[in-house]
Chains A and B, each alone.
Chain A
Amino acid sequence: ILNVEQSPQSLHVQEGDSTNFTCSFPSSNFYALHWYRWETAKSPEALFVMTLNGDEKKKGRISATLNTKEGYSYLYIKGSQPEDSATYLCAFAGGTSYGKLTFGQGTILTVHP
């Protein structure tokens, strides 16, 4: 059974704080690591897809790093805003998979004004 773990499970921060959360995944048979943002009453939305060890991606105030050798990825949000409140999901794709993604349970971020 393939385990993808996210921590923390939930996080409360104040507007303007910077924050980060972790996704742990198997370090063997790696192909890609996805991050999605899921706002309440909306559909999950892709943030990043990363495939290379050491990869860093950035989208506005959100960035992500990838370490495939040790099996972790960090998602950073700089200067959190209330509209960043959402569940952040990571998902692992293995080398033998056609398209199956294995998701973590998510980190619920709440940004208080």
Chain B
Amino acid sequence: DAGVTQSPTHLIKTRGQQVTLRCSPKSGHDTVSWYQQALGQGPQFIFQYYEEEERQRGNFPDRFSGHQFPNYSSELNVNALLLGDSALYLCASSSPGQTKNEKLFFGSGTQLSVL
């Protein structure tokens, strides 16, 4: 049973570029959340996708967008990259229904460096 998989594992971009990160949820999970973890901080919630819709969004600018596909996999897109977007991006999946009292299953993350 594959867990949550993310790709790529590492990525280097320059300011102003665009990036797409990918996530496949754990088998049987239909809800995907994205978190950003900057150095020295805890993960910060970007948004959550359920039934191919953005269900909830954190305090991130519109440069951060996402998508969920019919097979429940998800993409995180970041446009006009800034140096401050350098971080570890974590994807987490959870079982159907309300998720706030369901434990999250995390991927290993994508380390994004913006130069």
Contact = CB atoms under 8 A, between A and B. Distances in A.
Interface of A: 4, 6, 31-32, 34, 36, 42-46, 49, 51, 89, 91, 93-94, 97-106
30 contacts: A4-B42, A6-B42, A32-B100, A32-B101, A34-B103, A36-B104, A36-B106, A42-B108, A43-B4, A43-B106, A44-B43, A44-B90, A45-B106, A46-B103, A49-B101, A93-B100, A93-B101, A97-B56, A98-B50, A99-B31, A99-B48, A99-B94, A99-B99, A100-B33, A100-B48, A100-B100, A103-B35, A103-B44, A105-B40, A106-B42
A87 to B, nearest CB: 9
How many B residues touch the partner, as a band?
20 to 34
A101 B105 CA distance: 13
Contact of A43 (B42, B103, B108): B108
Nearest to A50: B101
B63 interface: no
Contacts of A46: 103-105
Given A43-B3, A89-B43, A101 B104 contact: yes
Contacts, number: 76
A51 B101 contact: yes
Interface string B84-115: 00000010001000111111111111000000
A31 B99 CA distance: 11
Contacts of B40: 105
Contact of A98 (B41, B98, B108, B109): B98
A6 B40 CA distance: 13
A4 B44 CA distance: 11
Contacts of A4: 42
B100 A97 contact: yes
B15 interface: no
Nearest to A99: B99
Given A43-B107, A44-B90, A98 B100 contact: yes
